[in-house]
Amino acid sequence: MPTLGNSPWWLEASTSADLENQCERLVVSPSSVTCDGGPWRCLQQEPSGLYAAVNYGMLADGDWNIGTYLNDDDRLVKDGVVAARKILESDSSLAGVYGRVHLVDSKGRRMEAIPVCRRAEDLGPLLARGIVPLAQPGTLFRREVFDSLGGFDSGWRAAGDMDFFMRSWKLGHRYRFVDACVAEFRIHPGQISQDAVAQIEREKLVESARDQKDWVRQSFGAMCRFRYDNRQAYCRRIVRRGFVSMNKLYQPKE
């Protein structure tokens, strides 16, 4: 978990989904941040960007075969993490497993479920259609995937996670969906994932996804399946909040 230490939720994030000593937790922070004393190993690195910090943690001394990273304002959900890990451990042909992710507000109260692709073969076509197919906090992946991709591209400011999964999909890596909530994504003012640079980066990824043959036909079918598979989430959102888009939900009240 990379942190600059200025998130009021970083302690909560770093202790979420207690797996009872079945995993190692690493916190990557600047030398000015005191993060020793918790159930984690603290690594010091001066600020050089989100994905450089993630790579630094992933490449630290230690032996891991299944991992993920968590932003310092989000939370993992234990039951979902355990379910995803069991699938990965039982099927060595899978590169990763991803599940459902819920939005929570600044006080940690659940809002809406993020629509997610149920059919892993549709990941690339959905991105080509401009639909974000999964949420990174709800995804576990193997060490071999990280190594084969050379880690996350630190040139991205906010979209390095989707670039990572897009490159993985293009290499033919197999993913599977688990119908469980694996993580919670916190909505609050000032998130870099919702600024103008993040939007430009997502548009670049969409263009990259469209270099696949027959992407128009494939993405249309993928979009229809995506809408159908997430129909319950759409209905719950309409009942609770009316006809409001996910982009609107991602914009918290100040």
The tens digit of pLDDT for each residue in 164-207 reads 999 999 899 999 999 999 999 998 876 666 667 888 998 999 99
Helices (H), 59-159: 78-90, 123-128, 143-148
Is 57 within a domain? no
* Residue bearing tokens 């993020």: 114
Residue 133's domain is classified under what CATH number?
3.90.550.10
Residue 137 lies in a domain: yes
Angle at 140 between CA 17 and CA 213, to 5 degrees: 150
42 falls within a domain: no
φ, ψ at 28 (rounded to 5°): -105, 120
User: What is the distance between the terminal CA atoms of the chain, rounded to a whole angstrom?
Assistant: 26
Q: Find the domain containing 180 and state its range.
A: 66-249
Domain count, the chain: 1
Question: Model-level pTM?
Answer: 0.89
User: What is the percentage of the chain residues whose pLDDT exceeds 70?
Assistant: 93
Percentage of the chain beyond pLDDT 90 is: 67
Helical H segments across the chain, by residue range: 10-14, 50-58, 78-90, 123-128, 143-148, 160-170, 196-209, 215-229, 231-241, 246-249
- Is 15 contained in some domain? no
The yes-or-no verdict on residue 63 having pLDDT over 90 is no
Q: Is residue 49 part of a domain?
A: no
Report the chain's mean pLDDT, rounded to a whole number.
Answer: 90
User: Cα separation of 189 and 173, whole Å?
Assistant: 35
